[in-house]
Amino acid sequence: MLTRKQHELLMYIHKHLNETGFSPSFEEMKDALKLKSKSGIHRLITALEERNFLARRAHRARALEVLRLPEDMAPRRQPRIPADAPAPPSNVIAANFTRAAKPAEPAPPETISLPLFGKIAAGVPIEALRDAGTNVDVAASMLGIGEHYALEVAGDSMQDAGILDGDTVVIRRGETAENGAIVVALVDENEVTLKRLWKRGATVALEPANKAYETRIFGPDRVQVQGKLVGLLRKYH
C-alpha cells in the first residue's frame, strides 16, 4: 500500500516521463506536491524505491524509471485465446506477437558521466542537489558497482590526505563504511562534511586530515553516511 503522497508522486513522475521522455527535477516534484523542501521528495522517492515502484538509472542525473504502477492503475491483461478457438476469417490478417530479438548490449564506455554537485554546504543534504544539472566525465575504470556522484571540495581540512580545496572527489553512494574510510557525512540532518570515519563503541568520530582542525565526536544517531570516497580528480592551471 502507498501513502497518498507516495501515490501522487509516482503518478506525477509517470505522467512526466510519458509527456517529456525524462524524469522531473526535484524542484518540479516539490512544487507539484506542494512540499516545502526537496528533502521530503527524497524520502518519498526512497520509499517508492524500497517498494519496487521506482528505480534510479546508474551514473545519470535526473533519471528515474517507473517499474510498476499500483494495481488499480496497471493495464489489464488481454484474455488468453484457447488453443481450439476457430481460425479468423480469411479477410483478417492474423497478428504475429513474436517478440523481436533484443539488440546486443553496447560495449561499456571508457568514460562515464556523473552528476557533479556543488561545494559541500551546511544545511543542504547531498540528495537535495541531485538535479544540479552539471556533469563530469570519469574514467570507467575508477568506478565499481553501485551509484556514484562527484562533489567539489571546499576548504583544506583534508589536505594531509591529498584532498585539496577545489578538487573534485568521486563518491560511491551508500549508508555504511568501514573504519578509516573517507566519507561524506550528514551531521544532525543539517551539516554535510567530508571526513575520515571512526566508530568507537557507541560514538562516531569524524576526523580531519589537517592538524589545524579538531576531530569531532558524535552519538551514533547524529551521523548519517551518504557515500564513500573512491576517487579524486584535479585540474592543473
Catalytically annotated residues: 157, 195
Strand partners, 117: 151
Give dist(CA 54, CA 9) in Å, integer: 11
Half-sphere exposure for 213 (CA within 13 Å, toward CB): 18
DSSP letters for 89-111: PTTSPPP--PPPPPPPPPPPPSE
Q: What is the DSSP letter of 151?
A: E
Length of the chain counted residue by residue: 237
Give dist(CA 216, CA 155) in Å, integer: 17
Amino acid at 21: G
Cell of 18: 510519458
